[in-house]
Structure 1
Amino acid sequence: MKVLHFKTTYLNPSETFIDGLVRNHKTFEPVITTCYAKSFVKDLNIYEMPKYGLQGFWNTVQIKLNMTPSFLFDVVKDEQPDIIHGHFGLDSYRLIRLRNKAGLPLIVNFYGHDVTRLPREFGWKQRYKRLRKNMDWAVAVSNDMKRNLVKLGFDKNKISVVKLAVDVENIEFNQRHSSGPRLMMVGRCVEKKGFIYALRALTEIRKVIPDITLDLYGDGELLPQLKSYVKDAGLSDCVTFHGFTDNIDIFKALQNHDILLVPSVQAKDGDREGLPQTTVEGMATGIPVIASNHAGLPELVINEETGLQVPTRNSDALKRAVIRLYKDADLVKKVSLGGRLMVEKEHNLNSQIKKTEDLYRQLV
């Protein structure tokens, strides 16, 4: 049996969770379709939208109008898939005509901003109403996201929770027995990541831990503002901005730092996390995590068991949590092991792929 995956851009560098699913199917053969091939495309059966001539022009117009691009009908005719798996709400909306004309079940996988921010944008409440009527099942990455989908009108009986997965068996676990002064954060420099609250905490943390350092891995629209804050706050000697960093180097950093900070918040435009992939990967390596009680994070970071949980937008709580781990070796050992066990149990790649393919079979 075959599954046709679609994402308008395949893939952004941070979307390793989609690549992990596609490359590790067990009983379904993946057929990848995209308008713009970008990353993680090597050795895949992938079809890209025509770029030139009349076909290229017409397919581009269709995408701009959020219609099904015509090349997908040819792919379905050639490959004869059994089911369609759309990634993100916007991209999946573009599959409605394909689903109806081909008579194939459509699964829509939601990930974060497509549940919280996109529905606030002009026209998307109505589009989601149409999507609800012309899809067969929804997938959320956390129970928190499922609740938000229900609030948007999606049928709670047609939503499965399939968590972001990692190939935990191939991630080296290094249980930590104490905490040093090396902090890190990973992600795009956007409001929902909450990086500013960690930077604000740093001034107070260094009064207790003079040699504290913080490495921030990521690029984005707020990077200049964050750099300006660090300079004005006199933190330039202990904060390093690394910009965009590939996944291999992120894993090295996770092994070489003492604490991963995840101070996520809901942005003013409604954007919020689904579940940050790096948090799952970090816990698999054994690095202790301090995360805000935001979105799906509390389902992963259970306070004093798999990490430390702090209120959102609370720099003082972040400060206290960092100092607590620095001083409490027993707690470090506990959450380091607890985090790894949580990932092995709830985010194992093989088990999440099995859930996904069981759902495919149910719908086929």
Structure 2
Amino acid sequence: LVVFEWLAIVKLLMSGKYDLLHSHWILPQGFNGVIASIPLKVPHVITVHGSDAFALKGKVLSQFKKFSLTHADAVTVNSSATQKQVLSIAPNIKSLNLIPMGVTNVQPNSIRCENLRKKYKIGNGPLLIFVGRLVDVKGVEDLLYALSILKAKLANIRLLILGEGPLRSPLESLAKELNISNNVVFTGWVESKDIINYLTASDIFIGPSKRSADGSVEAQGISFIEAMQAGTPVIASNVGGIVDVIQHEKTGLLVAQENPEQVASSVLRILDDKELESKIIKGAKIKVKSLTSLSTAEKIANVFNDCIKEEQVTNKN
């Protein structure tokens, strides 16, 4: 795979049609990009999304990552947490740029939102939502424990879990063990264009992320920004890049990782304090204005232009 990927990159660059190479992920794309771009004198940018920096540990892989990051003309990262991790791997990067991934401005369908609330709400009980892959780092197990705590006080509460992943079956089994099967719905995969409707239809978004055994952590979390855009108050763990966008009691509520009790108490706090809920929603709406896909595109385009100009100056000299 690595060899043929490298050959494909070299073939494209040798065509002379490209002024810059942009690699997503450090390994193997970033590494292949470096060894293909340097001899052909094509500027190269690596975008680090998070898991490629936090995971894939070990001396050999760390050296490959360091080589790739150090020899790229520029590196972009999506959060302060990713930036810190990247610098711990390769402190001497030519150009390191913090550029969060943004979201597009999508408007919900009011009729669809109303139908979703009618379908999933139990009476007048609150509707909670989680969006993401069902993997260890997302902390969905802790969310189910939090739901079991909340059920004792709010019998009509319901949680929507949007997403697929290897942990779906174990999580469904845990829901049965906790006697909350009627209070949680695993929707499976949902079309991206429909997620805004689910978020808008829900009362609270919860992202109880945690650091996994392999060191992976939520590098940014687009679903948090999408919930903020939808006007749905967010409860999130204070780990990784989440804290770049979720500021406690300003744009959401932060809780300690692996702490179902704090998640449950935060849900009750939002439900009981409408003034706090309104403050959080307003703050989140303001924050998300700077986290658009257009803003991301403009910043990355500036990095591209700088690299191309620098390469042109170098070639002239």
TM-score by length of 2: 0.88
Structure 2 matches for 1:3-22, cutoff 5 A? none
Aligned-partner SS, 2:249: coil
The aligned residue for residue 62 of structure 1 is 3
- Asked if residue 115 in structure 1 is aligned to residue 53 in structure 2, the reply is yes
Conserved? CA contact 1:171–1:284, under 8 Å: no
Cα displacement string for residues 301-354 of structure 1 (whole angstroms, at most 9, x for unaligned residues): 111111111111111100110000111111111111211110102x12222211
What displacement does 1:275 show?
A: 0.8
The aligned residue for residue 307 of structure 1 is 252
Cα displacement string for residues 100-149 of structure 1 (whole angstroms, at most 9, x for unaligned residues): 1221111110011101012x157311211321342111111011211111
Q: Alignment length, in residue pairs?
A: 294
Aligned-partner SS, 1:183: strand
Structure 2 matches for 1:161-310, cutoff 5 A? 161-168=98-105, 170-172=106-108, 181-310=126-255
RMSD of aligned residue pairs (Cα, Å) = 1.9
Distance in 2 between residues matched to 1:252 and 1:173, nearest whole Å: 6
Distance in 1 between residues matched to 2:212 and 2:109, nearest whole Å: 33
Structure 2 matches for 1:45-84, cutoff 5 A? 60=1, 62-63=3-4, 68-78=5-15, 80-84=17-21
Aligned-partner SS, 2:161: strand
Conserved? CA contact 1:201–1:316, under 8 Å: yes
Between Structure 1 and Structure 2, the one with more helix by share is 2
Distance in 2 between residues matched to 1:80 and 1:126, nearest whole Å: 31
Distance in 2 between residues matched to 1:205 and 1:108, nearest whole Å: 44
- Asked if residue 103 in structure 1 is aligned to residue 41 in structure 2, the reply is yes
The aligned residue for residue 264 of structure 2 is 319
The aligned residue for residue 139 of structure 1 is 76
Amino acid at match of 1:290: I
Amino acid at match of 1:162: I
The aligned residue for residue 87 of structure 1 is 24
**Structure 1 residue aligned with 2:66, among 116, 129, 144?**
129
Q: Which 4+ residue blocks in structure 1 deviate beyond 4 angstroms?
A: none
Amino acid at match of 1:97: I
Amino acid at match of 2:26: G
Conserved? CA contact 1:304–1:335, under 8 Å: yes
> Is the alpha carbon distance of 1:315 and 1:81 closer, same or farther for their aligned partners in structure 2, counting shifts above 3 Å?
same
> Is the alpha carbon distance of 1:256 and 1:232 closer, same or farther for their aligned partners in structure 2, counting shifts above 3 Å?
same
Distance in 1 between residues matched to 2:10 and 2:305, nearest whole Å: 22
Amino acid at match of 1:361: N
The aligned residue for residue 92 of structure 2 is 155
> Is the alpha carbon distance of 1:336 and 1:61 closer, same or farther for their aligned partners in structure 2, counting shifts above 3 Å?
closer
Distance in 2 between residues matched to 1:292 and 1:280, nearest whole Å: 14
Amino acid at match of 2:190: T
Distance in 1 between residues matched to 2:254 and 2:306, nearest whole Å: 37
What displacement does 1:157 show?
A: 6.2
Distance in 2 between residues matched to 1:353 and 1:80, nearest whole Å: 21
> Is the alpha carbon distance of 1:62 and 1:332 closer, same or farther for their aligned partners in structure 2, counting shifts above 3 Å?
same
Distance in 1 between residues matched to 2:208 and 2:236, nearest whole Å: 5
Conserved? CA contact 1:180–1:258, under 8 Å: no
The aligned residue for residue 353 of structure 1 is 297
Identity of aligned residues (%): 25
Aligned-partner SS, 1:297: helix
Amino acid at match of 2:142: Y
Aligned-partner SS, 2:97: strand
Cα displacement string for residues 150-207 of structure 1 (whole angstroms, at most 9, x for unaligned residues): 1112336621000111123x44599xxxx96100111111110001111101111122
Distance in 1 between residues matched to 2:305 and 2:233, nearest whole Å: 38
Distance in 2 between residues matched to 1:138 and 1:61, nearest whole Å: 21
What displacement does 1:79 show?
A: 5.5
Distance in 2 between residues matched to 1:228 and 1:164, nearest whole Å: 34
For structure 1, which runs of at least 5 residues remain unmatched after alignment? 1-59
Distance in 2 between residues matched to 1:256 and 1:289, nearest whole Å: 14
TM-score by length of 1: 0.77
Amino acid at match of 1:128: K
Distance in 2 between residues matched to 1:152 and 1:77, nearest whole Å: 31
Conserved? CA contact 2:108–2:196, under 8 Å: no
